[in-house]
Structure 1
Amino acid sequence: MAIVSEILSTVITEHFYLASLSFGPRWAISFEQKQGIKFTTVTRGACWIKLAGHTTPIYLTAGDCFLMSSGRAFTVSSAEGLTAVNADRYRVQKSERSQFFTDQGTDTQLVGGRFFYAKAAVDTLSQLLPEFVCIKANDPRNPRLTEAISRFVEEARSTDETGSTFMIDLLAKMMMIELIRHSISQGLQLSANPLIGMKDERISRAMEAMHSKLSHAWNLTDLASLACMSRSNFSTKFRALVGSPPLDYLQKRRMLQAASLLSKSSLSITEIAHTIGYDTESGFSTTFRRVMGIAPQKYRSDFTKPK
């Protein structure tokens, strides 16, 4: 899990909001596709959730938690077979940090949040996290997740608590780590991802080298040599296990590290470029914009704006 800790340390929550639902005995609502990672716990009653493209709904009861990492559209209902209406019809509160949906009933209540990340971070997290996972109330990991979600709700509702944004980012990572651990312990099949690559003796050598020396001028020949493989075999196996070509993986790791430095440090963009192995600021800025979808200076200014 060391590599997961390292990856998550460079992933920064850029935006978040709290979402609460409270409904009576008979209801069904649909939510449109939306990017971000969603955490929710059922605090009262029970409901059915069904993801778009899936035929079988999942029954949730009080205490159950779930995560959705794909941004897929979904419906939530009090019973199977009900016709769902758009959730906006029942939205009675919307702000930058909070949304509340209700038909004025209190039979079933859910609370949670959605966290948003830069494009490169989303790509990485989607590899590490399952598309959907439910942690039942009697699961040993449930109390830690429930506590983290409850603390998130508390922090999200505060408006002037010192360090609340930092705390929410930390809580999001705590929840993701618990869910990655759950996926591993349950043997859930994920797509190719860094964890799978690290289980391979040869591929892991190259991955560890890249992570330990991001600024080094790695090339395919050097990395294949570390894995004791030919260039073609190494490249093919790396992509099959990790999910991307070796140098693309390295580039993404560098850009996530750069994003972390842009948000957390006072280093100049030129200094950050040198730190992750770029000779020029222009070369770094071009790559950052392509991978992250935003220029480095804009990323820094947007991130440091008052939330």
Structure 2
Amino acid sequence: MDPLSDVLSLLKPRSYVSSGFDAGGAWSIQFADQHGLIKCYAVISGGCWLSIEGVTDAVRLQQGDCFVLPSGRPFRLASDLTLPSVAASTIFPPVRDGGVVSFNGGGDFFIVGSRFAVSGSHADMLMSMLPPIAHIRNESDQAALRWSVERMMQELRERQPGSSLMAQHLAHMMLIQALRLYMAEHSDRSVGWLFALADKQLGAALNAIHSDPAHRWTLQDLAEHACMSRSAFALKFKETIGSAPMEYVTRWRMLLAGERLANSSDPISAIAVALGYESESAFSTAFKRVMGCSPRQYR
């Protein structure tokens, strides 16, 4: 698979829920830590502000906009960001598929959305590779994503045969669509793992790593895939992705190892060899450094 498919497949979406929110008047709602949740939204009418923890500038949302929050950070939706916020937990009852929550009588702002939890091992580490928001403004792009959101609502509301599997595939579709469109719309940006995929040079190196994680990669090998000198490649990789190339190789191997430890009965020695380590000891040392515990403790 390609790197984006690799990362998203390890997230293992589950617990799909779709609902609507109808607000009126002046309002401001704070959503707490969205740990382990990815949310996809489409603005049906009206507009509001979106503020995400750790993101300097608030985003103005208008009718037709679609956006995905893939990082799980706390966020706030408000008609006016100067208003004091109320906690979302005081407004939203236990989630009901296809239900609509009305606030202040509704009528001014209406949004529909789908959310899904991720259950893959070390989901936080994987989600940190994604942007805090993928905001889709292009009208034709919005239509494609909005169809997925509305279809998700229909599947969860009607519960036809096969609806659970359909919801799973739609969740993946929404996330991949949004990230692809976001990459295309913001191709001028240069920092972040997602944009490294879109970069011709770094993308070639990342594809090589993900296609054969057990290969005994060297900095020279990866630089050659990127058609760059070692020093220029190492600098660009670190500045864009935030880690050195060989650190990235090790971290990706350990994420794959964690998946096999959690979901197979393969011996640790076999996992070590499959990921390019000559001994179980060398593998265990690397695993503990990256994952914070030994392979046996992890399993």
- For the superposition of Structure 1 and Structure 2, which TM-score range results when normalised by the shorter chain? 0.7 to 0.9
Q: CA 1:121 to 1:4, structure 2 compared with 1: closer, same or farther past 3 Å?
A: same
1:51 Cα deviation after fit: 0.5
2:183·2:198 contact (CA, 8 Å) conserved in 1?
A: no
Structure 2 unaligned residues grouped into runs of 5+:
none
1:28·1:82 contact (CA, 8 Å) conserved in 2?
A: yes
Q: Show the counterpart of 1:8.
A: 8
Structure 1 unaligned residues grouped into runs of 5+:
301-307
Q: Show the counterpart of 1:87.
A: 88
Q: CA 1:226 to 1:187, structure 2 compared with 1: closer, same or farther past 3 Å?
A: closer
User: Counterpart of 2:173 in 1: which secondary structure?
Assistant: helix
Distance in 2 (CA, whole Å) between partners of 1:150 and 1:168 is 11
Identity %: 31
Q: Does 1:59 align with 2:61?
A: yes
Q: Deviations over 1:53-108 (max 9, x none)?
A: 646551322x432122343433223456543222222122258x899754373424
Q: Show the counterpart of 1:305.
A: none
1:40 Cα deviation after fit: 1.4
- Root-mean-square deviation (Å): 4.2
Q: CA 1:71 to 1:198, structure 2 compared with 1: closer, same or farther past 3 Å?
A: closer
Residue identity in the other structure for 1:42: V
TM-score, length of structure 1 as denominator length: 0.71
Residue identity in the other structure for 1:210: I
Q: CA 1:28 to 1:232, structure 2 compared with 1: closer, same or farther past 3 Å?
A: closer
User: Counterpart of 2:183 in 1: which secondary structure?
Assistant: helix
Q: Show the counterpart of 2:274.
A: 275
Q: CA 1:273 to 1:84, structure 2 compared with 1: closer, same or farther past 3 Å?
A: same
Residue identity in the other structure for 2:32: E
1:48 Cα deviation after fit: 0.8
Q: Show the counterpart of 2:118.
A: 116
Moved more, 1-10 or 234-243: 1-10
Q: CA 1:240 to 1:94, structure 2 compared with 1: closer, same or farther past 3 Å?
A: same
Q: How does 1:157-196 map to 2 (within 5 A)?
A: 162=162, 164=164, 166-188=165-187, 189=189, 191-193=191-193, 195-196=195-196
Q: Show the counterpart of 1:28.
A: 28
Distance in 2 (CA, whole Å) between partners of 1:215 and 1:71 is 31
Q: Show the counterpart of 1:75.
A: 76
Q: Does 1:199 align with 2:207?
A: no
1:197·1:238 contact (CA, 8 Å) conserved in 2?
A: no
TM-score, length of structure 2 as denominator length: 0.73
Aligned pair count reads 292
1:220·1:246 contact (CA, 8 Å) conserved in 2?
A: yes
